[in-house]
Amino acid sequence: MSETAITAALIVIGDEILSGRTKDKNIGYIAEYLTNIGVDLREVRVVPDQEAEIVAALNALRRRYTYVFTTGGIGPTHDDITADSVAKAFGVPIDVDPRAKAMMLERYRPEDLNEARLRMARIPQGAELIENPVSKAPGFMIENVIVMAGVPNIMQAMLDNVAPLLRTGARMVVETVEADGVPEGIYAAGLAEIAAAHPGVSIGSYPSFSAAGFKNQIVVRGKDPAAVAAATAAVRALIAGLKSDRAPA
């Protein structure tokens, strides 16, 4: 009765992320987006602007997951090598795609579509284009690899455009239980027992820290709503019991 999970990996391409100069905003956005449509993001890699590294990551991940998304490296400058790296990974030719060029002519006059800008119309053979409403230069999808821009608002528009084409699985059901001041070290043993008794769900404990001290949340996730509800009820009962143990007599 369990349907096959639809899985994904994300490759973030860019020296600027690895140097810390640019702080990535795409990983969290894509993770949340894919979770919401029923695609399980299983791995993320950040790699430099080097063809061998990009090709190695593509080939390792595209065979392992239903989809591989990439962000970054599809602009007009010499450091934009994603499309060529994807062509190399698939062993297909790459050249200026007339469909992509036509899209770019919606923005540029023909005399302004110089060689650098035409670089953004270079698409590996066999790919489908992904429209870019912001600046026209398209992303593309070849087999199970989806190539998107790195600029967040362009990436987001491309993701909206490609999402309807994807196979999706059951959506994850997520319940969050506030630990209400009970420390992780106090509820850990009970939580491990609940996790063992509910193998169909994943239960995580997430501390965060602020000037007010630790605040813990317990998150129950799974694709079977009844199983998530049962595990969540058990967690709520655990925390309520421990809280009353700790209340002043």
Interacting positions 124-183 with its own copies (CB under 8 A): 134-135, 151-154, 172, 174
DSSP annotation of 20 reads T
Which residue of 13, 39, 47, 159 would you call a contact of its own copies, by CB under 8 A?
Answer: 47
Quick check: 245 binds its own copies (CB under 8 A)?
no
Which of 56, 92 has the CB closer to its own copies?
56
* Contact (Cβ atoms closer than 8 angstroms) between residue 101 and residue 113: yes
Quick check: 207 binds its own copies (CB under 8 A)?
yes
Q: Please, which residues bridge with residue 146 across strands?
A: 69, 141
The minimum distance between CB 131 and its own copies, in angstroms, equals 16
Which residue of 91, 93, 164, 185 would you call a contact of its own copies, by CB under 8 A?
Answer: 185
Which of 72, 124 has the CB closer to its own copies?
72
Quick check: 243 binds its own copies (CB under 8 A)?
no
Residue among 168, 91, 74 nearest 126 (CA): 91
Q: Apex CA 135: angle with CA 129 and CA 139, to 5°? A: 25
Stretch that binds its own copies, among 24-32, 91-99, 122-130, 159-167 (CB under 8 A): 24-32
Residue among 234, 223, 241 nearest 177 (CA): 234
Interacting positions 95-114 with its own copies (CB under 8 A): 108, 112, 114
Quick check: 59 binds its own copies (CB under 8 A)?
no
Which of 167, 246 has the CB closer to its own copies?
246
Question: For residue 187, how many other CB atoms are within 10 A of its CB?
Answer: 22
Residue 98 makes CB contacts below 8 A (sequence gap 6+) with none
The minimum distance between CB 206 and its own copies, in angstroms, equals 6
Rounded-to-integer distance, Cα 194 and Cα 80, Å: 49
